[in-house]
Amino acid sequence: MKSHPGEEIGRRKFLAYVAAAIGALVATVLTVPVLGSFISPALARKGRAQWLKLGTAAAFAPGEPKLVPFYLVRRDGWVETREPKTVWVVRQGEDFICYNSRCTHLGCIVDWHPEDQTFKSPCHGGIFARDDGKVLAGPPPRPLDTLKYKVESGELWVEYQEFRLGILEKIPL
């Protein structure tokens, strides 16, 4: 074999080139998945909103908040996780208000208190109004986070999304 005009490549040099090529191939095959594992989390949108069915619209009594539990299914490759989540639904005539059930202060799940018609956070005394989620007392920086909803074929759907906690602005995760 010749590497330059008039020069022959010996067996040792040829085997060195083959070994270098195989080494480069192995390094490439091993590097691509490792780089992908570092880059993919940066590109993934974990807080992406998902439309979820909460039940029939008729199942929600006007003026009576109802806590609806469900599982948020997330897939990462072949791994599937099911995260328990909840939404408060308040029916107002033909319209609905759907709240993310997490307090906007630190994320505690708010409870409904029918005696004074308010939502209360068990952690730091946050109190929210039923009809608009406004802060009535405590440290929460903003009202309860409202979620988009739609009614299709008599079924109530909500676009579940989580937002940053402890700040004035409603910013999706």
Distance CA 145, CA 172 (A): 10
Higher pLDDT, 142 or 23: 142
135 in Cβ contact with 128 (< 8 Å)? yes
Q: Tell me, what amino acid is at 72?
A: L
* Parallel, antiparallel or unpaired: strands 66-76 and 79-92: antiparallel
Kindly report which listed range (30-39, 50-59, 72-81, 95-104) carries the lowest average pLDDT score: 30-39
Q: What is the pLDDT of residue 49?
A: 82
Helices and strands counted in the chain (H then E): 1, 11
At residue 16, the pLDDT reads: 86
Percent of the chain with pLDDT over 90: 66
Distance separating alpha carbons of residues 48 and 100, to the nearest angstrom: 14
Reported confidence tier of residue 5, pLDDT bands at 50, 70, 90: low
